Every structure is written in C-alpha cells, then in structure tokens.
Amino acid sequence: MPKKLPFSISPIFTTTQRTNSKCRTTPFTTLIQNPKSSSTSTTSLNFTFLNHLKNQRIDSARAVFNKIPSPHVSLYTKMLLAYAHNNNLSEAINIFHQIPSNTKDTISWNSMIKASIICGDFVTAVKLFDEMPHRNSISWTTIIHGFLSVGRVVEAERFFHAMPYADKDVATWNAMVNGYCNNGRVDDALRLFRQMPSRDVISWTSIIAGLDRNGKSYQALIFLQNMVGFTGVEISSTTLVCGLSAAAKISDFYAGIQIHCCMFKFGYCCGFDAFVSASLVTFYACCKRMDDACRVFGETVCKNVVVWTALLTGYGLNDKHMEALEVFGEMMRFNVVPNESSFTSALNSCVGLEDLEKGRVIHAAGIKMGLENGVYVGNSLVVMYSKCGFIGDALCVFRGIGEKNVVSWNSVIVGCAQHGCGVWALTLFKQMLMEGVESDEITLTGLLSACSRSGMLQKARCFFEYFGQKISLKLTIEHYVCMVDVLGRCGEVEEAEALAMSMPVEANSMVWLVLLSACRVHSNLAVAERAAKRIFEMEPGCSAAYVLLSNLYASSRRWSEVARIRRKMKHNGVVKQPGSSWINLKGLRHEFRSADRSHPLTEKIYEKLEWLGVKLNELGYVPDQKFALHDVEIEQTEEMLSYHSERLAIAFGLLSTSEGSTLTVMKNLRVCGDCHNAIKLVAKIVDREIVVRDSSRFHHFKNGICSCGDYW
DNA sequence: TTAGGGTTAG
C-alpha cells in the first residue's frame, strides 16, 4: 500500500467545510424583535425571509412571509418555487392563488408552470399554460424544456411547432437541440442546429456535449474546432469542459492538451472550478498520465466529491487499485462524503484486487450511508461479491436493491452463469421478464454462458432464436462465440463448426478458440486441426491455441505431434503463458507457480501436500496422467501433477486460515482435470468449501463434489 | 426584487 499519495491536500477548502462556514448565521432575528419603524420592519422581514430561503429553511421562510404586509409579487414567486423544490405542489398553488390579481404577472405564471414541472405534474403545467393571459418566449421554452427533460419528445415537438416562429429565441432552439441529444436523437439535434437562425455559446456547447454523450466524441471535437476557428462566439469554461470530456473518451491527448492550454489562456485553471478540475483529472487519467492527473488534483483548491471521485476512478482505470482505495480512504478522512459514484469506483477497484475483505469494508460504509439498496451501489456490490467468489452474498444484495434496472439483472445473471448456477440464472431471467424489464445484448450473453456452463443446449437454442428473431436483438460476434461454445461443450462439435462457418460476419479467432477448446473436451482431433489452422492464420502468436492442440495430441499420447507443435511454437517465438494461482489474505496476494519453492512457508506447504497425498491415496485417488501433457516417465508426471500451482495455493490457504472457513483461490488458466478430481477430495478431507476461480468459471468444491458437476 | 437554454466523476 502506498504510504503517501503524490498530491497535496488542503482540507480547509473541501466543499463540506466551505458549505459549513457559509451556514454560520447572522442574528437577523434581533432586527425583527426591535423594529424602529414600519418600513425598517418590512425591510428586515424581507431580508430574513430571503435568508431563510437561501438556507432552505422553508417553514421559517413561510412564517416570516406570513408577517410581511402586502408582499411584493417577487416574494410570492420565490415562495412558490421554494415549495416546488420541496415537492409540495399544493402549497405552491396555494401561494400562487394568493397573489393579488392586479400584480400577478407573466413571471409569476411562468414560475407556476415551472413549479408544476418540477413536481412532475404536466397536466397542471399545460392547464396553466393554456389559461395564462400573456405568454412570452420563456413560457414556451419552460414547457418545451420540461417535456424534454422527462423524455416526452413528441409533446415537446408539438409545442415547438405550435410556437410562433417570431417568438422562438435562441434559448428555445437550444432547449430543443439539447433535448434531442439527451434523448438519443442526435441527427434531429444536428438538423435543428443547422436550421436555427443564430447560435450562441450555449448552442455550441449543447451540440458538442450532445455529440460526445451519443458516442460521437470525435465529431464533438470537430465542432469545437469550428466554433473556435470560424464563429467568433466567445467560448466558456463549460464549452471547454465538454470538449475535454470528448478528448478523454477517445484518449485524444493532442486535442486535450490544446483545450487545457485554452483553459489556462482564459483563466479557468485557477483551481476554483470543480468542473474544470474534474474534467482535467479524468482526461489525463484516460490518457494514462496519472502524474499529470495528480498534479491537477493537487492544484485544485475546491476539491468536491466529483474531483475526488475523478481521481479515484482514474487510478482504477489505470489498474492502480491500491492507490484508488487509498484515495477513497483519504476523501473520507477529509470529510468529503462519498456518493454513489465514489462507491461504484471503489468497489470496482476491490474487484480489480480480487479483495473481498476490502469489498466488505466498503459495503459496510455504504450501509452506514444508506446507499446499499440504491441501484448503482447495489449493482457494484453484486458484481464485487460475484467476482470475488461469493455468489450467495451477491444474490442477497441483489434482492435488496430497491429499483432494479437492466444492469442489476444482467449482473446477477452473469454472476450465476460464472458460478455454474445455470438454473438460477434462467429463473432470474423469468422474473426479469415478469417485472417488465427490457433485456439487452448482455442479458443474452449471460444466458448463453449460463447454458454453456450447465450443459443446457436446448435452452440455449431457444434463447438464441428468441433474442435474434422475436425481439430483433442484433446478434453480435460475442453471441456467436457463446453459441459455438455451448454447442461445442455439449458435444455438437460439427454443428458448432458449421455455425462458425455460416455466421453473418466472419468468425474471429475467439470463435475458433472456443471451438478448439470444445474439441479438447470431446477429443475431436479432426475439427480441432481445422479450427487451429484458422486461428494460426488470424493470430499466429496465439499461445492458447498451441497449448490446446498440443494437449489434444498429448492426451492421445501422440508425442511426435506434441513435439512438432512445440517446435512450431519455438520457431514462431510463441511463449506459453505460465500457470499461476494465488490467494489473497489480509490484503496480501500470495502467488504460486507450478512446483514453486519461493514462498517463505514452502517447507510447511510441501509437508501439507504430502499429508494430503497420503489421505488422497487412502480415498482411492489415482492421478489421471492424461493431464500430465508431457512425454515423461509416469512417476515424474505424478509429481508434476501434485505440485500444480492451485494445489500449492490451497495448501498454503489451509495452513493460513481458520478451520471451517471458505477458501478462495484464483488461477489464470483452466484448472486441469486431475487437479479438479483431487480438489474435490481435498475439500472432503479437510471438511471445508474450496472455491477456485479459473479462466473459465468458478468451481465450488464441497463434500467431494464440485458445483460444476464435472462439466466445464 | 420574481421566470427559460449548456458542464465534471460512474
């Protein structure tokens, strides 16, 4: 863990403390209690009223408002809007009706429309709009923007088209352009942007931000370039922040640097603008320049939660998960309250470290803050528990999520698939359909992989057809990879090959690799050789394909072919990825290679393995030498199998953890069949659950059996 | 004295 983060922190300037300092109130009440004259009294009441509103003390504001003799219409307006922001529409309407009719002006009518929209009551908003005596462009823009803000584009368009052309000002056009972008209608936004009679800085910023949000970051940067180069419209910090966001998304370092220079030039980089700082931190992080990101962070005076989260996320993006979690801890120490985004990023870093213990600590902090059942934190917790090997906890968190979205359902379905709980995955999908949540391409990937890992071929065929034809989901190459995988694993190797050959897009090396893997399971050398040939044409350095083919030859004891593959690997400079397994204990990762003797507890680990070997023999275990994969003497292969990396990690785990606790081991390659047999028995001997996550899935070993049912 | 349009982290 890093002892010191590479940036300086000025705690006096954190947002929380700045806000608190503002809250120190002046004793205004003394002014009311001792008035010298009627006019002084009214002035004091007005002042106190405004002060209460400013500090969001709505009841106190109302009490003072009631004492003001003949309040000015502007005070009525402020009062009703305050009620709207408190989601109290009936009281806002009450105040509106109290405005004397001779002073009720267009501004108060517009404010009441706005108040209805804030409270989500569009019927009242439209009724007021119809009833008001004089509409101006602000009345129209308010209602158009209101509809767009809740995705009701058709109604917004109806008002926009009904609005007299002469009344449409630049703000109205801007509202439409921005609304189209926010609702994924970027082509309509571009059409209006070209049609509008004049464009100001907000028009340009809207289209730049909109293009960026809709996956057109490169075009956004072109628009920014045109704005600066050809329009003469004065640029704002918001425009530059949007441009920087686009540069960050496509990691365009050159464009981002130019924008940073502009920010300097216009004086936006003095450290007081959190938007500028957060966008700079993110930009440098996306360009893999964490030193620069840290420098910007250190120079930021106004460090709010977004700036902190930008740094935390940036470290995560760069696989510096320990540093990310250190930032999370630091922000808490500086009284910056983490929000859902901070938790999401911190939990992602726990996944990156595969560190369940840290994940549980962050989960506890989330519970304290009441964020556990929110959809963002809940989804991240589901992923964290699932990827750290605890699918039961993932399901528990999932059930608690208040309003589940498609990501929640996908996360839990994919989690069940990875843990081999295929039936659960399918049951959850049924519930998802019943709750009316629309599935997407990730749902199908999750379902197909659940079927693949549980041998449910017919179900997979149904899903593939249902998603492809009935709900017209565009099938991606990922889906074909899954379908070839499930066909192959279920023994339909020829059909899998036929599907790979007949795909609407050309199969990539991943498709052929899963087919080759299935050939390894079902010992189909003919298809394997054809699949391997395809892979070597596309990816000559694919070590996994060489290893799979070599293993296939080895399991058939065709040692001359094994030697040929090895020579070919050597000739092409392909290096086999060494197998390694690791276990995380108290924040430390203990990693082992096959026959490793570098760990400080090596002697004890090998003693434990010998003891386990004796117990295994007593239970009738005989090493399966087809997994030795080397042309060596039988005695030697037995020894090599006994010291595979996962066995060393398990032996170490047994020595270092309390009896009865679940042991979780990670492996970079697939666990071999012989180790799989041995670990089933080891779990029985030591009477513990052993979870092994290999490159394919999670295996839960308990009482002599594995959750995968020997099917993986 | 009160009303409308653009922004950062995930």
Q: Which nucleotide is nearest to A140 (CA to C1')?
A: B4
Count Cβ atoms within 10 A of the Cβ of residue A13 and give its class: 0-12 exposed, 13-18 middle, 19 or more buried.
middle
- Would A243 be classed as within a structural domain? no
Report whether A31 contacts A39 (CB < 8 A): no
Q: How far is CA A113 from the centre of its chain?
A: 36
Element (H, E) at A663: strand A663-667
| pLDDT number for residue A643 | 82
Q: Could you tell me the sign of the dihedral formed by the alpha carbons of A155, A157, A159, A162, in that order?
A: negative
| pLDDT number for residue A623 | 80
- Would A516 be classed as within a structural domain? yes
- A155 CA, B2 C1': Å apart: 27
- Would A3 be classed as within a structural domain? no
What is the distance between the alpha carbons of residues A132 and A113, in angstroms, rounded to a whole number? Answer: 10
Last residue within a domain, chosen from A523, A550, A571: A571
What is the per-residue pLDDT across A71-95, written as a single tens digit (0 to 9) for each?
999 999 999 999 999 999 999 999 9
- A185 CA, B9 C1': Å apart: 25
Both A409 and A516 in one domain: the answer is: no
Report whether A35 contacts A44 (CB < 8 A): yes
- In the block, which residue shows the tokens 């309250």? A337
| pLDDT number for residue A38 | 59
Q: Which nucleotide is nearest to A137 (CA to C1')?
A: B4
- Angstrom CA distances, A218 to A107, A153, A213, A234, A363, stand at 41, 26, 11, 22, 38
Q: Which nucleotide is nearest to A306 (CA to C1')?
A: B9
| pLDDT number for residue A654 | 96
- A344 CA, B9 C1': Å apart: 10
Report whether A323 contacts A7 (CB < 8 A): no
Q: Which has the closest alpha carbon to A126: A94, A162, A101, A168?
A: A162
Q: Could you tell me the sign of the dihedral formed by the alpha carbons of A146, A151, A155, A160, in that order?
A: positive
- A169 CA, B5 C1': Å apart: 10
The domain of A636 spans 580-706
- Would A557 be classed as within a structural domain? yes
Tokens of A129: 């709009």
Task: Indicate the pTM of the whole model.
Answer: 0.87
- Would A591 be classed as within a structural domain? yes
Q: Which has the closest alpha carbon to A661: A702, A697, A694?
A: A702
Both A536 and A648 in one domain: the answer is: no
What is the distance between the alpha carbons of residues A687 and A658, in angstroms, rounded to a whole number? Answer: 12
- A175 CA, B6 C1': Å apart: 9
What is the distance between the alpha carbons of residues A583 and A589, in angstroms, rounded to a whole number? Answer: 6
- A273 CA, B3 C1': Å apart: 27
Closest residue (Cα, C1') to B1: A74
- A224 CA, B7 C1': Å apart: 14
- A159 CA, B5 C1': Å apart: 16
Edge-to-edge strands of the sheet including A705-706?
A588-593, A580-585, A663-667, A690-693, A698-702, A705-706
Tokens of A303: 């460090």
Tokens of A537: 């044409």
What is the distance between the alpha carbons of residues A144 and A179, in angstroms, rounded to a whole number? Answer: 9
Q: Which residues of A113-127 are buried (b: 16+ CB within 10 A; e: fewer)?
A: bbbbbbbebbebbbe
Report whether A237 contacts A275 (CB < 8 A): yes
Closest residue (Cα, C1') to B8: A275
Task: Give the CATH number, domain containing residue A539.
Answer: 1.25.40
Q: Which nucleotide is nearest to A78 (CA to C1')?
A: B2
Closest residue (Cα, C1') to B2: A74
Tokens of A654: 């047994």
Q: Which nucleotide is nearest to A341 (CA to C1')?
A: B10
Q: Which nucleotide is nearest to A103 (CA to C1')?
A: B2
Report whether A116 contacts A108 (CB < 8 A): no
| pLDDT number for residue A12 | 34
What is the distance between the alpha carbons of residues A347 and A328, in angstroms, rounded to a whole number? Answer: 10
Q: Which nucleotide is nearest to A237 (CA to C1')?
A: B7
- Angstrom CA distances, A407 to A375, A403, A474, stand at 9, 11, 18
Q: Which nucleotide is nearest to A208 (CA to C1')?
A: B6
**Phi then psi for A35, rounded to 5 degrees?**
-75, 145
Strands A690-693 and A663-667: parallel
Last residue within a domain, chosen from A536, A571, A606: A571
- A438 CA, B7 C1': Å apart: 31
Tokens of A592: 């082992």
Closest residue (Cα, C1') to B4: A138
- Would A376 be classed as within a structural domain? no
CB atoms within 10 A of CB A598: 8
Report whether A700 contacts A689 (CB < 8 A): yes
Report whether A528 contacts A552 (CB < 8 A): yes
What is the distance between the alpha carbons of residues A583 and A563, in angstroms, rounded to a whole number? Answer: 34
Both A590 and A563 in one domain: the answer is: no
Residues 6+ apart with CB under 8 A from A686: A654, A659
- A193 CA, B5 C1': Å apart: 13
- A107 CA, B4 C1': Å apart: 11
- A245 CA, B8 C1': Å apart: 8
Both A459 and A487 in one domain: the answer is: no
Closest residue (Cα, C1') to B3: A107
Both A611 and A499 in one domain: the answer is: no
Q: Which nucleotide is nearest to A286 (CA to C1')?
A: B9
Q: Which nucleotide is nearest to A114 (CA to C1')?
A: B3
What is the distance between the alpha carbons of residues A26 and A118, in angstroms, rounded to a whole number? Answer: 31
Closest residue (Cα, C1') to B7: A238
**Rounded to 5°, angle at Cα A116 from A113 and A121:** 130
- A615 CA, B10 C1': Å apart: 50
Element (H, E) at A75: helix A73-85
Report whether A207 contacts A181 (CB < 8 A): yes
Q: Which nucleotide is nearest to A380 (CA to C1')?
A: B10
Both A543 and A496 in one domain: the answer is: yes
- Would A515 be classed as within a structural domain? yes
What is the distance between the alpha carbons of residues A343 and A336, in angstroms, rounded to a whole number? Answer: 13
- A10 CA, B5 C1': Å apart: 36
Q: Which nucleotides of B are covered by protein (CB under 7 A)?
A: 1-10
Q: Which nucleotide is nearest to A283 (CA to C1')?
A: B8
- In the block, which residue shows the tokens 């693949």? A452
Both A593 and A698 in one domain: the answer is: yes
What is the distance between the alpha carbons of residues A176 and A188, in angstroms, rounded to a whole number? Answer: 9
- A422 CA, B2 C1': Å apart: 61
- A78 CA, B2 C1': Å apart: 6
Both A679 and A657 in one domain: the answer is: yes
Last residue within a domain, chosen from A475, A506, A530: A475
**Phi then psi for A57, rounded to 5 degrees?**
-100, 85
- A209 CA, B6 C1': Å apart: 8
First to last CA, chain A: 36
- Would A567 be classed as within a structural domain? yes
- Angstrom CA distances, A172 to A113, A202, A209, A211, A701, stand at 16, 11, 17, 19, 64
Both A587 and A685 in one domain: the answer is: yes
Both A607 and A683 in one domain: the answer is: yes
Closest residue (Cα, C1') to B10: A341
Residues 6+ apart with CB under 8 A from A544: A513, A577
- A394 CA, B7 C1': Å apart: 35
Tokens of A398: 């999932």
Both A490 and A452 in one domain: the answer is: no
Residues 6+ apart with CB under 8 A from A194: none
3-state secondary structure of A553: helix
3-state secondary structure of A580: strand
Both A549 and A643 in one domain: the answer is: no
Tokens of A42: 């009214």
CB atoms within 10 A of CB A661: 10
What is the per-residue pLDDT across A166-196, written as a single tens digit (0 to 9) for each?
999 999 999 999 999 999 999 999 999 999 9
- In the block, which residue shows the tokens 């999750």? A446
Residues of chain A with pLDDT under 50: 1-3, 8-36, 629-636, 638
| pLDDT number for residue A31 | 32
Tokens of A194: 């070209």
What is the distance between the alpha carbons of residues A101 and A134, in angstroms, rounded to a whole number? Answer: 14
Report whether A277 contacts A295 (CB < 8 A): no
Q: Which nucleotide is nearest to A282 (CA to C1')?
A: B9
Counted domains in chain A? 3
Q: Which nucleotide is nearest to A212 (CA to C1')?
A: B7
